[in-house]
């Protein structure tokens, strides 16, 4: 098989390497020449992806993987499969910005040849593949979907840092614009994946499956957060309550937290609602989870005129990503309540990066209060000498509360 993978980010590049590792010929395309040059040198352009550096070295040296900035030319060579994984940017309310995805799809269309199968892996609102992306490909190529080329939607289902493991573990979902497209998509994915490949009936079914699995997590977290607030009202320990509930096989309640962040969980429920505005639970869950930063600030008490530290600015521990981070909502809430300074600390961010996000970098010293927003491993070692605040809200349950003489408040835990 010959394949082209468009957009060599944290999902696209490991996917391209996986295809090449399975013995196929792959061209990876990206608009960033620095990324392309590094890939062609057999180097990973970003850290933290297990097995990527070794796989790149092997497949590039063997001549099975090369990179290019010329997407249309790579597609014009007539590969069997073109996989598009460009990001779908969103604004602060999770409304899509179609610019990057549309541009990538047009570039594919400009080189598209008959008999090629195009697979979209970027998570999109329901109906996007058929109603938006198919017409874009047709206009750019002059070809007709399902007459001259196949189009499928096959959502990425991997976690950054463990993409190869996830590709080998979770069933790959494929939904086509037609039964023929779906069958061809399944056949092509089976040629390089060890995991099962499932045809799900249509592009829309695959789109909805992706949105459902992510929205489920948002709903589950919202329920855990509501349980935490109920536990606070009744002086109960929510962790023991959840553990007890989960001790039978029908309950799988997640853990509460100060915020839900990242590219996926805060965003994809909004995509689901865009295609199904009458849906009630996703909307309510978003409201519950978006209210948690304000609730965490409530637990601090009066903050006007004080210096308050936010520990952890990335959306989760160990990952350098601030998209939809709860730290930003905590910052806004603190500023609205008249704090003197919103200080920030994150082991993955420089002072300049903290300042760009409107935090005053903190390197230790006296503070009035603090909120732990991201569970970086470094914070588990903090004690009262390193964190000399009168009141601390541990929004992730990572601090050793017994070391702080009653100064630590945790969500749903007395």
The candidate with the shortest Cα–Cα distance to 198, out of 183, 215, 180, 208, is 183
pLDDT of residue 47: 85
Look over the chain and give the mean of its residue pLDDT values, rounded to a whole number. Answer: 96
pLDDT of residue 233: 97
Binned at pLDDT 50, 70 and 90, residue 90 comes out as confident
User: Which of the two residues, 91 and 353, has the higher pLDDT score?
Assistant: 353
pLDDT at 93 over 80: no
Token reading at 119: 């697979």
Burial of 401 (0-12, 13-18, 19+ CB in 10 A): middle
The candidate with the shortest Cα–Cα distance to 267, out of 294, 287, 295, 286, is 286
pLDDT of residue 381: 95
Mean predicted confidence (pLDDT) in 46-72:
96
Helices marked H in 256-368 = 268-275, 281-290, 292-300, 326-336, 351-356
For the stretch 225-244, pLDDT in tens is 999 999 999 999 999 999 99
- Which residue among 264, 280, 306, 409 is the active-site one? 264
Binned at pLDDT 50, 70 and 90, residue 400 comes out as very high
pLDDT of residue 335: 98
User: Which of the two residues, 319 and 106, has the higher pLDDT score?
Assistant: 106
pLDDT of residue 146: 93
pLDDT of residue 161: 87
pLDDT of residue 50: 94
Mean predicted confidence (pLDDT) in 89-111:
92
Mean predicted confidence (pLDDT) in 316-333:
94
pLDDT of residue 89: 86
Between 43-47, 289-293, 330-334, 354-358, the lowest mean confidence (pLDDT) is in: 43-47
pTM of the model: 0.90
Identify whether 210 is a catalytic site residue: yes
pLDDT of residue 392: 97
For the stretch 353-380, pLDDT in tens is 999 999 999 999 999 999 999 999 999 9
pLDDT of residue 95: 87
Q: What percent of the chain has pLDDT over 70?
A: 100
- Which residue among 210, 306, 320, 409 is the active-site one? 210
For the stretch 3-42, pLDDT in tens is 999 999 999 999 999 999 999 999 999 999 999 999 999 9
Token reading at 110: 């400009």
In whole angstroms, what is the distance from residue 291 CA to residue 314 CA?
A: 18
pLDDT at 119 over 90: yes
Residue by residue, DSSP assigns 114-164 as TT-EEEE-S---TTHIIIIIHHHHHHHHS--BTTTBEEEE------TT-HH
pLDDT of residue 292: 98
List the Cα angle 60/61/67 in 5-degree steps: 25
pLDDT of residue 87: 85
Mean predicted confidence (pLDDT) in 44-72:
96
For the stretch 141-155, pLDDT in tens is 999 999 999 999 999
Residue keyed to tokens 């300074």? 341
Binned at pLDDT 50, 70 and 90, residue 202 comes out as very high
Identify whether 29 is a catalytic site residue: no
Phi, psi (degrees; rounded to nearest 5) at 13? -70, -50
For the stretch 138-196, pLDDT in tens is 999 999 999 999 999 999 999 888 999 999 999 999 999 999 999 999 999 999 999 99
Distance, C-alpha 344 to centroid of its chain: 23
pLDDT at 92 over 80: no
pLDDT of residue 199: 98
pLDDT of residue 154: 98
């Amino acid at each position: 098989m010959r394949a082209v993978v468009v957009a060599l980010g944290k999902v696209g590049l490991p996917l391209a390497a996986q295809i090449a590792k399975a013995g196929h010929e792959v061209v990876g395309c990206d608009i960033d020449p620095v990324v392309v040059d590094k890939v062609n040198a057999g180097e990973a352009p970003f850290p933290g992806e297990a097995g990527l550096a070794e796989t790149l070295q092997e497949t590039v040296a063997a001549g099975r993987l090369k990179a290019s900035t010329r997407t249309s030319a790579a597609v014009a060579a007539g590969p069997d499969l073109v996989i598009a994984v460009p990001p779908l940017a969103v604004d602060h309310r999770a409304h899509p910005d179609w610019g990057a995805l549309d541009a990538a799809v047009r570039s594919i269309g400009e080189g598209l040849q008959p008999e090629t199968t195009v697979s979209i892996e970027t998570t999109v609102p329901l109906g996007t593949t058929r109603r938006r992306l198919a017409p874009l490909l047709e206009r750019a190529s002059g070809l007709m979907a399902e007459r001259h080329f196949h189009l499928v939607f096959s959502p990425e289902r991997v976690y950054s840092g463990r993409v190869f493991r996830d590709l080998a573990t979770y069933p790959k979902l494929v939904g086509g614009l037609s039964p023929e497209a779906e069958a061809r998509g399944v056949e092509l994915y089976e040629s390089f994946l060890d995991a099962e490949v499932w045809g799900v009936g249509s592009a829309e079914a695959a789109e909805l499956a992706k949105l459902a699995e992510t929205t489920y997590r948002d709903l589950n977290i919202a329920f855990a957060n509501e349980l935490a607030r109920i536990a606070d009202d009744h002086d109960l320990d929510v962790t023991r309550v959840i553990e007890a509930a989960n001790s039978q096989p029908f309950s799988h309640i997640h853990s509460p937290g100060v915020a839900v962040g990242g590219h996926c969980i805060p965003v994809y429920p909004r995509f689901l609602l865009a295609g199904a505005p009458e849906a009630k639970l996703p909307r309510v869950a978003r409201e519950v989870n978006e209210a948690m930063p304000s609730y965490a600030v409530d637990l601090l008490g009066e903050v006007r005129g004080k210096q308050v530290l936010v520990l952890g600015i990335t959306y989760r521990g160990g990952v350098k990503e601030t998209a939809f981070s709860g730290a930003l909502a905590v910052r806004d809430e603190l500023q609205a309540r008249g704090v003197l300074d919103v200080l920030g600390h994150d082991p993955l961010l420089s002072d300049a990066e903290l300042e760009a996000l409107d935090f005053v970098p903190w390197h230790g010293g006296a503070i009035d209060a603090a909120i732990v927003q991201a569970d970086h491993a470094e914070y588990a070692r903090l004690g009262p000498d390193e964190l000399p605040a009168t009141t601390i809200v541990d929004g992730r349950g990572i601090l050793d509360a017994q070391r702080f003489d009653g100064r630590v408040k945790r969500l749903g835990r007395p």
